[in-house]
Structure 1
Amino acid sequence: MTASHWTESEWRAKLAPFHQAVEELKIKFKGIKQEYDEMGIHSPIEFVMGRVKPVRSIIQKAARKNIPVEDSIDRMKDIAGIRIMCQFVDDIYAVVQLIKQRNDLNILGEKDYVREQKESGYRSYHFVIEYPIQTVSGPKNILVEIQIRTLSMNFWATIEHSLNYKYGGEIPTPIQKRLQRSAEAAFLLDEEMSKIKDEIQEAQKVFAKRSEKNK
């Protein structure tokens, strides 16, 4: 039976290892943030999200990339995705170093779209990793894409993704130009916030202490 004719339960079984990898990585990265928080140190990780690409999206991407659907599970690099949000641009590179120091995953590739943004204005730091999991049938290596970005970068990327979906990847030129200008504005915001990083972090510590006392 070809992948296009896999039943819902067969797809669930195929994607189960990807869900497992995403959940394990979410726990690990959230654990890093918790460790920083418990030490009273600024965490470069603000929060963590994860997802497994829906079946429909897998089939559509396989068609666009001329990949047989039955091969997509092994060949697609972004079926499993982790997104790590940061407050400041410097935090992105702190997270990059944290990932590079880990011995529980294997980095297959990385792209710095923060310093070398895409033509559209998109900014983010990407890793493709191989993450080992244990299944009932034995060990399995899962490809996972990790995206690291600031909150403003994520806001912009979310809007661009919605517009790409609406226009089928052909966003009208006037809107593209506005997106490019808004991407620069978002990055300018990140730069300005970085200049008062110490003041922001001190204010957050004071706020956190007051909130704890009022509980």
Structure 2
Amino acid sequence: MKKILILAALLGAAASASAHTGHGTHSLFEGLAHPLGLDHLLAMVAVGVWSAAALQGARRWLGPAAFLAAMTLGAAAGAAGLGLPGTEGAIALSVAALGALLLAGARLPTAAGLGVVAVAATFHGLAHGAELPAGGTFAAYALGFGVTTTALHVAGLGLGRALRQAQAWVWRTAAGALTAVGLLLLVRA
């Protein structure tokens, strides 16, 4: 419980979502730092938490794998010039949707949960790829945000295991808070 409260305090103190403007997108290190914007951080940790709660055994990796695959495809599409209006709003909405996914937990069929994860990841990827300037190095930047995304998923898996041990109200409170933050981000977008 103490770890959960510390994590909640750190997330609450995190800077607001500035993940898609005003930063470099040329290098591995910039890619490593990119997912640490509030919207990305919350979404990626939430995928791990949901996977730990809703999936059993080795299947727990399906959520992170689906996210990474869809994010990579979205990033490649964004880097190729595909842009969708409202991507920032969709990213904020994805945080709220992942909060709702946490509230649904294992009651939602696995395929539907993975679908929510993949759609969220696609929008995150589109934003990553669209930020790559002409002449930027997509491979190094993508490797960077892929590594950090994986680390955040692993952290989410650990947090999810801890939350499964906690009382139900702790789980519902965390999921509700994530949904509320997503809606606040949507209002700001």
Per the normalisation by structure 2, the TM-score is: 0.30
Per the normalisation by structure 1, the TM-score is: 0.27
More helix by share: 2
Q: Quick one: higher RCO (CA 8 Å, sep 6+), 1 or 2?
A: 2
More strand by share: 1
Larger radius of gyration: 1
